[in-house]
Chain A
């Protein structure tokens, strides 16, 4: 009798530990996703400043600047999922890349203190977004492992936890210009 009770207690304890582990991992994924959002927003918030700074120098790139502003407006709307926001960010990234190429034609702009600072902030945002995405992927991998590996997969099945997708480099991203590389070359 005592033995059966012990086995039941151990089983209950194991299920509890597993349950908490799964929920903890799921929350880590959500937290990581929100930190991606935070870092994306950092980049979006730099755009109005950038456009204002660049606007005075760049007479011929109005189209590009308008495009950036529009993309930014869409990106900061409240009801977007992280994936949608990331897709918009990819377009913004590519537009920024094109902008940085055209900056080469404006030496005064390139030398201006405000622009140099903005470049620094943009590089930082880029690096932080990439870090947040890597953190998200790490959290998702850990979560997916937990819900697909025995024995926690049984409990995960009952809780209807499904694997989350990883961030992969998108087509736009693979084609887009390496902003950082350009800054280094430009200095």
Chain B
């Protein structure tokens, strides 16, 4: 079981799958990795001496600019000539190994490595109100577990700030808005308003004063709704809730769902943010971990053990765990 992934129960079939199907795939993958590594090393062996010569020359004639330029050009050239080999290795891992694990988890699921949940839908959740300047998504898993249809993908959203110093040089820096896994699932209750459950940032420290700050903060950003004070103190320490309807927020966040959310949060050990909009549950798990990526071409080995594969399967099973942990398949209300 992986440390980062929540406690996943891995089915009995995995060992057999590993021996009969995954291991041959991994052997092929290892061959690809070695080819990619050797190719990268050869390109490096060609680029490096040329670069060193140019830098030495540049330092001799004392043009520091040329030395820096040569170094940058070398890095770009190396990346350009090795990109295809590295991409091939990565694609082969995703197409063969990750796709096989997704299929193993549930044959009905679909996995598309190079697409994800779009920026429009990400923004529609209104969990993050900061304007997005750069957006990337990949590793889309779609399908349903039980009655709950869902989509899950990796998302990386950033904004930029530009500063101009006294010399007139502009300096652009990028800041992360959200990086991690983004989940959209069909919620099991019908509702009409909007409810947001965000990680708590003030109340833990300041108590009642923090609550006042939260109430103001909720009004300041463009997210609709007012602060909802819930009765579970542990939940209140972990999250802050804003909603357009006080009663509806409590209808959605039943006492049992509050408990389940706390438990899920403790298992993933990452900050969670949720939005309930249009009968959907949006859930963002912030993490710097890159999911569904193969081991490094230089420092890793593609001949992975059963435990390594179990860790990947645990990641793949995250959506299932989320649906089970939050009990989204309980369909006893009027919504089918």
- Whether the Cβ atoms of A131 and B250 lie closer than 8 Å is yes
- Cβ of A134 and Cβ of B250 under 8 Å apart? yes
Residues A138 and B230 in contact in the complex (CB < 8 Å), given A124-B189, A128-B247: yes
Cα(A132)–Cα(B250), bound, Å: 7
Q: Is B231 part of the binding interface, using a Cβ–Cβ cutoff of 8 Å? A: yes
Chain A contacts with B in 107-149, Cβ cutoff 8 A = 117, 119-121, 123-124, 127-128, 130-132, 134-135, 137-139, 142
Cβ of B248 within 8 Å of any chain A Cβ, yes or no, is: yes
- A35 touches B (CB below 8 Å): yes
Select from chain A the residue with minimum beta-carbon distance to B336: A120
Least CB distance, A133 to chain B, in whole angstroms: 9
In the assembled complex, B65 has its CB within 8 A of some CB on chain A: no
Find chain B residues with CB under 8 A from A135 CB.
Answer: 246-247, 249-250
A81 within 8 A of B: no
Give every chain A residue within 8 A of B229 (Cβ-Cβ): 138, 142
Q: Pick out which of these stretches binds chain A: B91-99, B197-205, B327-335.
A: B327-335
Where chain B touches its partner, the secondary structure class is: loop
Closest chain-B Cβ to A147's Cβ sits at a distance in Å of: 16
Chain A residues near B301 (CB-CB < 8 A): none
- CA A121 to CA B335, docked complex, whole Å: 9
Inter-chain contacts of B288 with A (CB < 8 A): none
Contact A120 B250, CB 8 Å, known A127-B189, A137-B231, A142-B229:
no
Interface residues of A in 166-187 (CB under 8 A from B): 180, 183-184, 187
Q: A134-B250, A138-B246 are in contact. Are A127 and B231 (CB under 8 A)?
A: no
Interface residues of B in 311-336 (CB under 8 A from A): 330, 332-335
Residues of A near B251 (CB, < 8 A) are: 127-128, 131
Residue with the greatest number of chain A CB neighbours at <10 A, chosen from B230, B231, B247? B247
Residue in contact with A124 in the complex, picked from B228, B330, B333, CB distance below 8 Å: B333
CA–CA, A142 to B212, complex, Å?
12
Q: Which of B247, B248, B333 contacts A120 (CB 8 A)?
A: B333
Kindly state the separation between the CA atoms of A30 and B251 in the bound complex, as whole angstroms: 19
The answer, yes or no, to whether B108 is at the interface (CB within 8 Å) is no
B62 within 8 A of A: no
Task: Name A184's contact: one of B228, B246, B248, B332 (CB within 8 Å).
Answer: B332
Are the CB atoms of A183 and B254 closer together than 8 Å? Answer: no
Complex contact A138–B231 (CB within 8 A): yes
The one of B248, B332, B334 that contacts A187, using a Cβ cutoff of 8 Å? B332
Footprint of A on B, CB under 8 Å? Answer: 189-190, 228-231, 246-251, 254, 330, 332-335
Interface residue ranges, A against B (CB under 8 Å): 32, 35, 39, 117, 119-121, 123-124, 127-128, 130-132, 134-135, 137-139, 142, 180, 183-184, 187
Of the A-B pairs whose beta carbons lie under 8 Å apart in the complex, a sample of 17, sorted by A's number, is A32-B247, A117-B334, A120-B334, A123-B333, A124-B190, A124-B333, A124-B334, A127-B189, A127-B333, A128-B247, A131-B249, A134-B250, A135-B246, A135-B247, A138-B229, A139-B246, A142-B229
